[in-house]
Chain A
Amino acid sequence: MIEVTDIHKTFTVRTRTGRLRRRRTTVRAVDGISFTVAPGEFVGYLGPNGAGKSTTIKMLTGILSPGSGTVRVAGLDPSRRRTALARRIGVVFGQRTTLWWDLPLRDSLTLIRHLYRVEAGAHRRRLAELTELLDLGPFLSTPVRQLSLGQRMRGDLAAALLHDPPILVLDEPTIGLDVVSKATVRGFLERVNTERGTTILLTTHDLGDIERLCRRVMIIDHGRLAYDGDLDRLRAAVAADRVLVVDLERPAPPVRLAGVVVERVEGPRQWLRVPREMNAAAVVAALADRYPIADIALREPGIEEVVTRLYRDGGRVTA
C-alpha cells in the first residue's frame, strides 16, 4: 500500500543572527528513508520533535514533493497525482481541523461529501455507521468551533473516512485529548483496522497509542529510520531493564542481591531493577529464599523507557 524508497528532503532555514543579518543553514529533515507498508497493517511512526515525522507524512500525502527518492501510495506518486491520491487516502492532523469552523458538523460533513463526490446513498449509510461508531449524534448540529477537542477529533476522523479510503494517515490524533476521548479514538481506530482492513499509519507522541494499537513500529531520528520492526523485538533489542515490584511482609531496609539494584523503597514495597541478561525466575527464587514475600510482580519496560533509551544511546537498532 505504501512504498517508500530512499527519500530525502532538505530545507533551507534562515536564522536571525543579528538585527538584520540572517544565516542560511541547510537542514536534512529526511535523510534516506525506505519502508513498505502492506495492506491492512497498523504501523506506528515515532520520533522526537523535529526528527522528520511530519515531513515524511507530508511527502506521503502529496503536500510536499520529495527532494529525491520515490514514494508510492495506493499505487500513485503522491507529488504528481495529489488530487487522485486524495480520493484514496484519509488524513487527520491532530493539531488542526479539516472541518469548517463556523459550520455545524453535519454541514461540514456534507461539504466533504461533495468535495469527494460521494454518492448520496453511500454517504447516508457511511455517515450513519460513523455516527454510531464515534457517537457523533449529540453534536452533529453544533458548529465546529463550539466542539470540545475530543468531539472535534471524532468529527475529523469521520471526515477523513467518509469516502471510505483504503489508507488512513494520522498525524498525532490523540494530542491533547482527555483519557476518555483517547480511549474512544483508539477503540475506533482498532475497529477500522480490523473490521474494514484499512491500512493505518499513525504518528504520535503518546506511546500509549502505540502499545495499544500497533504491532509494528518505525522510529525516526535525525531524518533516518532508527528502528523498523515489531514492538516486542524493539524492547528486547534495546535491552531495557525490567523492574521487579516486591511487597515484603513488613517494611525492611533495601534487599541485597547480586546484580540487582533497588530503585525505590516505600514501606513494605520495593522496586528492583533487573538487568535484561539476568534470569528473572532465578532472581525471584533467590529473593524468596532470603526474605518473607507477600506479593511479587514483574514489569516489562514501558515503551516510553525503551524509546528514551534508544534516543539517548543515539544508536541504531537492527532487528
Chain B
Amino acid sequence: MADALRLYALLIWTWIRAAAQFPVSMVLLGLASAAVAALDMVGIMLLFAHTPRIAGFTAPEVLFLYGTSAMSFVVADVLLGGTERLGEHVRQGTLDTMLVRPVSPLIQIATEDFSPRRMAKLLPPVVVLAFVLPRLPADWTAGRVVMVPVMLVSGTVIFAALWVLTASVQFVVIDVHAATKSVTYGGAFLTQYPMSLYARDFVRGMTFTIPLAFVNWQPALYVLDRPDPLGLPAALRFAAPAVAVALCAVAALAWRAGLRHYRSTGS
C-alpha cells in the first residue's frame, strides 16, 4: 500500500513537471477548468437571487453543502477520475500494456494523463468554504469542528470508491458507461443541494443503496444541527467514515472481479 502511494506520487510528479514546461498554457487552462467548475456555484447563487431560503435552507447553508461536495468530488476526480477512461483503454488495447508492468493497472490508469490543471477545479469550492464557514449559523462545538474535515475526507473516499466501482463496470460492458455518470457526475451535482428538496424514496435510495447521502448531507445535518426530514436515526450522521470504508471494500471487490473477467475473456 505504501509502495502504491509512493509510486502514485511519483507518477503525478512526473506529469506536473511535464505540464510545467508550458506554464502560461497551464495557468490559462487551469482558470478555464475553474470557470467550468464554478458554474454549479453560480446556479446556486441564481436561486438565491430570488428567494432567501430553499427547502428551508439559507444561502450559506446550501453553499456549505456545495463546498463540501465539490471539494470531495474534485479531489476524488483528480486522484481517480482517470479510471473513467478504462473503456477506452480496453477498446484500444492499451490496458494490455499496463498489465505487463509490475504495478496495479488501477494506479496506472488513474495517473495516466494526470494534469495539474484538474486541481484548479478546487478553486471554487475552496473559496466558497473559506467564505461560508465563518458565516454558518452553527454552534461550533469541538465535535462539529472535527466533523468538517471528517466529512470532507469521507466524502472524497466515497466518490473515489464510486469512480472505481463505475469503472469496474466497463470491464464487462463498455457501452453503458454513460449511464454510470449519473452516479459520479450526477452524485456530485445532487449532493450540492439539501436532500430535503428531493422525493423521500429518492433520498432513501441515496442513503441505503448508493450512499451519496453520506458524502455531506448526513454529516451536515449534525454540523448545522438540523432534524432529518426523513426521521432517520441520528447515528447515521456519524456513519460517513464507516460507509466510506465499506464502499471501498465493495469497489475493490468489483475491480478485482472486473479485472478477472477481462483476463479470462480478453475483451
Please, which residues of chain B bring their CB within 8 A of the CB of A11? 265-267
In angstroms, how far is the closest chain B Cβ from the Cβ of A169?
Answer: 8
- Chain A 117-128: CB-based contact to B (< 8 A → 1; otherwise 0): 100000000000
Contact A61 B100 (CB under 8 A): yes
Residue B141 at the A interface, CB < 8 A?
A: no
In angstroms, how far is the closest chain A Cβ from the Cβ of B14?
Answer: 5
Count how many pairs of residues, one from A and one from B, have CB atoms less than 8 Å apart in the complex.
72
Q: Quick one: which of B14, B100, B112 has the most chain A CB within 10 A?
A: B100
Contact B93 A96 (CB under 8 A): yes
Contact B263 A111 (CB under 8 A): no
Contact B100 A115 (CB under 8 A): no
- Chain B 94-138: CB-based contact to A (< 8 A → 1; otherwise 0): 101101111110000000110000000000000000000000000
Please, which residues of chain B bring their CB within 8 A of the CB of A12? 265
Contact A91 B100 (CB under 8 A): yes
Residue A86 at the B interface, CB < 8 A?
A: yes
Which residues of A62-100 are within 8 A (CB) of B?
Answer: 62-65, 79, 82-84, 86-87, 89, 91, 93, 95-98, 100
Residue B10 at the A interface, CB < 8 A?
A: yes
**Of the candidates A55, A86, A91, A93, which one forms a contact with B93 in the assembled complex, judged by CB atoms under 8 Å apart?**
A93
Contact A96 B94 (CB under 8 A): yes
Residue B264 at the A interface, CB < 8 A?
A: yes
Contact A63 B14 (CB under 8 A): no
CA distance A84 to B102 in the complex (A): 7
CA distance A111 to B7 in the complex (A): 9
Residue A114 at the B interface, CB < 8 A?
A: yes
Contact A64 B101 (CB under 8 A): no
Whether A95 touches B93, Cβ cut-off 8 Å, given contacts A61-B100, A79-B263, A107-B18, is: yes
Residue B92 at the A interface, CB < 8 A?
A: yes
Interface size, chain A (Cβ < 8 Å): 34
Please, which residues of chain B bring their CB within 8 A of the CB of A55? 266
Contact A103 B14 (CB under 8 A): yes
Whether A103 touches B99, Cβ cut-off 8 Å, given contacts A63-B266, A64-B266, A114-B7, is: no
CA distance A62 to B105 in the complex (A): 13
B residues lining the A interface (CB < 8 Å)? 7, 10-11, 14-15, 17-18, 92-94, 96-97, 99-104, 112-113, 263-267
Told that A93-B93, A98-B97, A114-B11 touch, could you supply 13 new A-B pairs with CB distance under 8 A? A58-B96, A64-B263, A65-B264, A82-B99, A86-B100, A86-B101, A91-B100, A96-B94, A101-B113, A103-B14, A111-B14, A114-B7, A115-B101
Can you give 12 contacting A-B residue pairs, CB < 8 Å?
A11-B265, A11-B267, A65-B264, A83-B102, A87-B102, A89-B100, A101-B113, A107-B14, A111-B10, A114-B10, A115-B102, A116-B102
